[in-house]
Amino acid sequence: MQRYILRQKNLFTLICGLLIVSGFLSKWITGRADIFHWALITASLLGAAPIAIQAYQALRVKVVSIDVLVTIAVLGAFVIQNYEESAIVTFLFLFGAFLEQRTLNQTRSAIKELTEMAPESALKQMENGEFAKVEVDEVDVGDILLVKTGAKIPVDGTVLTGEGSINEASITGESFPVEKGKDDKVYAGTILENGTLQIIADRVGEDTTFGKIIELVEEAQDSKSAAERFIDRFAKYYTPAVLVLSFIVWLFSRNVELAVTILVLGCPGALVIGVPVSNVAGIGNGARNGVLLKGSEVIHDFSRTNTMIFDKTGTLTIGNPAVSETIYYVDDTEDALSYLASIERESDHPLAKAVLQEIGETKFHPVENTEVVKGGGIIAAVNGQRVAVGNIALMEKEKVELSAEAQADAARLERDGNSLVLTAVDGRLKIMMGIRDQIRPGVKEELQKLRKLGVKNLIMLSGDNQGTVDIISRELGLNEAHGNMLPEDKAEYVKRLREAGRIVAFVGDGVNDSPSLALADIGIAMGGGTDVAIETSDVVLMNSDFRRLPHALGLAKATAANMLQNIVIAVGVVLFLLASVFFSEWMNMSIGMLVHEGSILVVILNGMRLLRYRLRS
């Protein structure tokens, strides 16, 4: 019976409301007081039933809940035969609970949208080589799957054949399609907008990146901050205190109605609901925008950040060296470029890849008698000529004469933070390339946004040489920059800043910098959709998009402020209601319950504003 009544709580609310309306209409139109009273008595009993059951269940686990206060208040109203008050209080309480649930469901819409995006089926290659539709739970690691235009990628996998454009908004928050081809990684929950792909499953089910994101957001929305834990403890003692206050008032005044009114007005509903709804809405906004915040404790600490430390490679810079400038010292450059490309394509060094990308399509020659000079470069025979590719030290070893112009060019490129790749053919300098890791587009502007959000200290730590680090630091306007640092040096630096009283956030790639990410107050990973980043940090910026960092910090600050606003609103309303009981003539149970339920809706709607949060430019 208890389960049935609780399941039908919304129906009871509707019937209760209709009985109250019909009772008042009967009184006003026909003057039948008996119908009026019996309608209100029936409404009170129906409305009180689910409330009393919830109160009983709370008392069984030794919790004096809001339902206990309302149940006692309704019983008190019956004792003094104030059926209007009892009926209206029960209806408002139930209707308020209905509205709370509706609006709370909206704040959880982000996780609901995520779960609805989860793929349910896949085209799996069977033993006969044909593809058949199966439930996604039937897909195992190593299975080959076919994905057609418009279909969801069912697993994390690697493209075997085909090409196509994929919408990765469910992973990165970015709606622009990404081109995918052979050997590219694809992620579950993303959508193939055009093309056809065959993929091999690398991770399935809850182990996929999409599965981990859903799990993370669910855990974060259910987590509790220090503020919420305080409110839980406060409500635990506050509710019995209201009961005691009500009893004391009755003891001295012998006024049952006044005592019952205090029970109703003292309900701390808005206080209990205000902080969780802010937490849920803030984390939901982040999930929609490619920012994963691991719980409300993280939001609290992140909002107070005054120092942010950045790893250089892959964070402030793209992480892929590129040729910034090419200087030719001869007119016949075609052969020299083809010799350079022929040597570099046999190397997997990052600088070699940058050179090949810069040269593009060219003619390749057989490479013979290759000699690798440690710390210098490569010497080889190409097309019958001796070709040296490397730094200035290699050129000196090969007795290649550098003109005053070439020396000046080298000095300028190195001063600008470039690594040099020189090419000499038969002892004569032909080409000089400057290669540097490119700063992420728009990083300088995003750093300025962080300063406006209250981050006073922007610091870069890198394993690169100090000269290169200083150049990037000057270009970006950082407070400090330290080079030649190993992972343990970075971790020690973070530790020193925290001991000095700084609130430190460390931004890294989630792998090499894991000690620093763990030691900082807030570890922020440039995620790139990797499960390692998701598991090792407090905040994840999906797709390694630096633009999401100011949004993440602004959202954390807005969420923390929203929590405080809701606490002030809730406490203020309770104090106002209790003061009105003692110092005014107009306050009664019905008005008090109406204001009380109104305050709950106010804090919920205030929290829901976070779903639409956008960082102002």
Query: Alpha helix (H) ranges present in 360-486?
Result: 392-397, 404-415, 443-452, 466-476
Phi, psi dihedral angles at 144 (to 5 degrees):
-100, 130
CB-based contact 160:198 (threshold 8 Å)? yes
| 471: exposed, middle or buried (Cβ count in 10 Å: 0-12, 13-18, 19+) | middle
Residue 186 to residue 153: CA distance in whole angstroms: 7
Instruction: Return d(Cα 324, Cα 302) in angstroms, integer.
Output: 37
Q: Which amino acid is at 423?
A: T
Q: What angle do CA 249, 250, 253 make, to 5 degrees?
A: 80
End-to-end CA distance of the chain: 57
Tell me the C-alpha to C-alpha distance, in Å, between residue 26 and each of 11, 32, 87, 89.
Answer: 22, 6, 16, 20
Contact 287, 213 (CB under 8 A): yes
Q: Which two tokens stand for residue 116?
A: 């609805």
**Amino acid found at 473:** S
Q: If DSSP states are collapsed to H, E and C, what string results for 284-343?
A: HHHHHCCEEECCHHHHHHHHCCCEEEEEHHHHHEEEEEEEEEEEECCCCHHHHHHHHHHH
List the catalytic residues.
311
Distance CA 303, CA 454 (A): 9
Distance CA 372, CA 567 (A): 68
What values do phi and psi take at 213, rounded to 5? -65, -45
Q: What angle do CA 349, 351, 352 make, to 5 degrees?
A: 65
458 by DSSP, 3-state: which? strand
Annotate 46-110 with DSSP letters as a single string: HHHHHHHHHHHHHHHTT---HHHHHHHHHHHHHHTT-HHHHHHHHHHHHHHHHHHHHHHHHHTHH
Q: Which residues partner with 199 through β-bridges? A: 145, 159
Tell me how long the chain is: 617
CB-based contacts of 377: which residues, under 8 Å, 6+ apart?
388, 389, 390, 391, 394, 421
What angle in degrees, to the nearest 10, is found between the helix axes of 83-107 and 109-117?
A: 50
